[in-house]
Structure 1
Amino acid sequence: MILTLELLLFVFAGLFSPGPNVILLTASGARFGFRPTVPHVLGVAVGVGVTAGLTGLGLGALLQAMPVLKLVLQVIAAGWILWLAYKLFRSTRTKRQEAGDKPFTFIEAVLFQWVNPKVWAVAFAASAFVADQGPIGAGAALAVAFAGINLCVCLFWSSAGHLLGRLLADERLWRIFMTVMASLMACSAALIFL
């Protein structure tokens, strides 16, 4: 397993930029606070690491070779992301007004990575940096790079959301913020099919 500076910088740029995880973690930090969002943060880091590692082991090539399986995954991903966008849009400033309204659990965050198009796209692209390491080395390098970097990225965005939540005490500002988050999330569903 070899982690190059190029790989690390590419993974950082890919994961730090806005996408479904960044949007959900920022909104969760704003809505529920940092501490309740920690299981979500940890689940994203582990889930992204597993997804990237499996991509390096050959799952990415398998998905590319089986267009029907890829299409099924894309449809499921688009549906789940649109549902999450709807939930964000409907969210209220009151932290737990609706029954069952809570941040993602660790397991939900891990599972979300299987339908997160941005993670797959970055993992597919990053696998070019480790192609010469063989499947085991490539899988390990991608898993470590993605999980480690994404933990830091997730901590940043959930903390930023928590701080932003304090500034959004006004219901009108809160509604604008959540509408923007939901709109960005919905737009990311369209990117699945590109």
Structure 2
Amino acid sequence: MSLQLFPLFVFTQVAFFTPGPNTISCASMGMVVGYRRTVPYMLGITAGFFIIMLFCAFLSHAVLTAMPDFERYIRWIGAVYILWLAASVLKMDLAGSGTNFSPLSFTNGVFLQLANPKVAVCGLAIYSTFLAALADQAGALVVSAVLFSLNAFVAASTWALFGTVIRRTLENEEYRKVVNVALALLLVYSAVSLSGVLS
């Protein structure tokens, strides 16, 4: 089985850069507290992402064979956590400039990945299809997990910078509230759709 690198590239860019729990929460953090104070959270996202990618790389076939209900359970767990994250986004909005808001931490970023069904499903899809030919090459699997994690950091950074630009551009507090409500609603939609309720 040959590697499908171009389709893999297209899939990962769409999956990593489109709105989801990681990107939306980073945009909101960037808007409220700025890029620099969002970095620990983004590093947590990257570390958690790496853990999930390694898990998917080495266990994708085994997990789905041994526990066919695994994907359904992680979707529900993730949906609950993402809804909590949406509530956090609304609290960020109420904090105004962010001076009274405690930014999400490295640990929050890691835990989001461990409970984020989008990352797990994405990893399972990548390693059971595009990179199935690497199943017996541990070194290549580790390298691929590192590269995917770096890509996830770039995506998170892009959205955090976008949030920072919004913060600097939208000085009107009412506009900021509208933007954060929109981000929170996107998170709610993400939680509902990833839970499988709409399918």
Give the TM interval when normalised to the shorter protein: 0.7 to 0.9
- The residue type paired with residue 148 of structure 1 is L
Q: Secondary structure at the match of 1:18?
A: coil
Moved more, 103-112 or 180-189: 103-112
1:56–1:138 CA contact under 8 A, matched in 2: no
Deviations 1:95-146 (A, max 9, x none): 133xxx3222112201210111221222122121110112525632541231
Normalising by structure 1, we get a TM-score of 0.87
Deviation at 1:74, TM superposition (A): 2.6
- The residue type paired with residue 25 of structure 1 is C
2:29–2:163 CA contact under 8 A, matched in 1: yes
Deviation at 1:32, TM superposition (A): 0.4
In the alignment, what sits opposite 2:25?
24
Q: How many residues are treated as equivalent by the alignment?
A: 190
- The residue type paired with residue 87 of structure 2 is Y
Taking the TM superposition and a 5 Å limit, the aligned residue runs for 1:32-51 are 32-51=33-52
In the alignment, what sits opposite 2:166?
164
- The residue type paired with residue 53 of structure 2 is A
Deviation at 1:186, TM superposition (A): 0.7
How large is the RMSD of aligned CA atoms in angstroms?
A: 2.2
In the alignment, what sits opposite 2:97?
94
In the alignment, what sits opposite 1:118?
118
Q: Cα gap change, 1:132/1:27 in structure 2, threshold over 3 Å: closer, same or farther?
A: same
Deviations 1:29-74 (A, max 9, x none): 0000010001111111221122112101014641564245444433
What are the ranges of 5 or more consecutive residues in structure 2 without an aligned counterpart? none
Q: Cα gap change, 1:171/1:3 in structure 2, threshold over 3 Å: closer, same or farther?
A: same
Taking the TM superposition and a 5 Å limit, the aligned residue runs for 1:42-191 are 42-59=43-60, 61-63=62-64, 65-91=66-92, 92=94, 93-97=96-100, 101-127=101-127, 128-135=129-136, 136=138, 139-191=141-193
Following the alignment from structure 1 to structure 2, what is the Cα–Cα distance between the partners of residues 74 and 6?
Answer: 25
What are the ranges of 5 or more consecutive residues in structure 1 without an aligned counterpart? none
1:26–1:159 CA contact under 8 A, matched in 2: yes
Q: Cα gap change, 1:162/1:171 in structure 2, threshold over 3 Å: closer, same or farther?
A: same
Deviation at 1:83, TM superposition (A): 1.2
- The residue type paired with residue 109 of structure 1 is G
Following the alignment from structure 1 to structure 2, what is the Cα–Cα distance between the partners of residues 162 and 112?
Answer: 21
Normalising by structure 2, we get a TM-score of 0.85
Following the alignment from structure 1 to structure 2, what is the Cα–Cα distance between the partners of residues 129 and 71?
Answer: 22
1:43–1:106 CA contact under 8 A, matched in 2: yes
Matched, 1:4 2:10: no
